[in-house]
Amino acid sequence: MILWDAPWLWRALLMGCLVAVPCALIGCVLYLRRMSMMADALSHTALPGLLLAWLATGLLTGPALFAGALVSAVVTTALIGLVRRVPRVRQDAAIGIVFPVLFSLGLVGISTVGRGAHLDVDCILFGNILGVENSSLYGMFAVLIPVVLLVCLLRHPLAFATFDQGAARLAGLPVRAITQGVLFLAALVSVGAFDAIGTVPTLGLMTIPAATAHRLARSFTEMLVAACVLAVAAVCIGLLTSVLLDLTPTGTMVVAAALLHGVVLFWTSRTTTSRQSPAI
């Protein structure tokens, strides 16, 4: 195939893998904490965070990106916590109330005060992985290292605080700080992945490989490894298929992850027979 000679394909593959690994790692933690929909919220609120960072500094790279992630993570989680504390607001509704409003503020912002920032709606939703710039490649690399190091080195306290919050608190672990840290890392990954693969594909790589890995793995470490392998596989399969079939690369990656999930679901459903009452 002539494809193997194309440098843009290798760049896109590299970027895809750089995005996939931290997404999968943080996705596992969110999954186990039953916060998968927080990934949805954070991947959307990355937009107002980025916009604020751009308005304050005029930059969309490096430290500005980091500050934007910090702002969006803190504001989103604080607001969701606040809305949950309002009497008679449904718990699940809190997420659905907060993030669309913040995302809308971001959208209104980019069409009024933020016209100069290179943020357009198609790019936000779909990403542009075939045209990544060097700066976002380095930026994603800078995101990857702290996420991988923190999740891998701290996986034992992380698992403890995730599976038994009460016991972890009694054992002296800073449970609240760990929760905040997890959300900050998720926001950092969302922001880093933002201009390469877009909002909803980020959500896909955060949630689907983690859900698949949960069905395969028997320990937290196994789950982390399986999720990374699945996410990288989805990126590679999706990217190649999209080039061959003329589809959008980012969406095809998510579809590949979903197909892998379907295969694993079918494969494991013959051995497990858990039934839950459906919500709808």
Partner 1 sequence: MNPLWLERALEFLAFEYAFVQYSALSAVVVGVMCGVSGVWMVLRGLSLVGDATAHATLPGLCLAFLLTGSSHSAVLMGGALASGLCAMAVLHGLQRWGGTRPDSSLAVVLASFFGLGVALMQRVTGSPGAARAGLQGFLLGNAASVTPAQAWVLTGMMVALIALTLLFFRALQLSTFDPSFARLSGFRPDRVRIATTALLAIVVVLAVRAVGLVLVSAMLVLPASTALLVSRRLSTTLLLSGVMGGLCGFVGAWAGYIWQGVATGPAMVVMAGLIFALVAGGRSLVAPRQQTALRGGL
Residues of this chain, 75-104, that bind partner 1 according to CB under 8 A: 77, 80-81, 83-90, 92-93, 95-97, 100-101, 103-104
Residues in contact with partner 1, shown as a per-residue x/- string from 211 to 230 under the rule CB under 8 A: x--x----------------
Q: Please answer whether residues 53 and 67 qualify as being in contact, where contact means their C-beta atoms are separated by less than 8 angstroms.
A: yes
121-140: which residues touch partner 1 (CB under 8 A)? 121, 125-126
For residues 106 and 50, what is the distance between their CA atoms, to the nearest angstrom?
9
Of 208, 224, 225, 228, the one binding partner 1 (CB under 8 A) is 208
For residues 259 and 275, what is the distance between their CA atoms, to the nearest angstrom?
22
The tokens for 220 are: 């937290």
Closer residue to partner 1 in complex, CB, 156/176: 176
Closer residue to partner 1 in complex, CB, 5/246: 246
CB of 62 to partner 1, least distance (A): 28
Task: List the helix and strand counts (H, then E) for the chain.
Answer: 12, 0
Q: Please answer whether residues 238 and 222 qualify as being in contact, where contact means their C-beta atoms are separated by less than 8 angstroms.
A: no
- DSSP label at 119? -
Closer residue to partner 1 in complex, CB, 136/212: 212
Give yes or no for residue 161 binding partner 1 (CB under 8 A): no
Of 56, 111, 149, 222, the one binding partner 1 (CB under 8 A) is 111
Neighbouring C-beta atoms of residue 230, cutoff 10 Å: 25
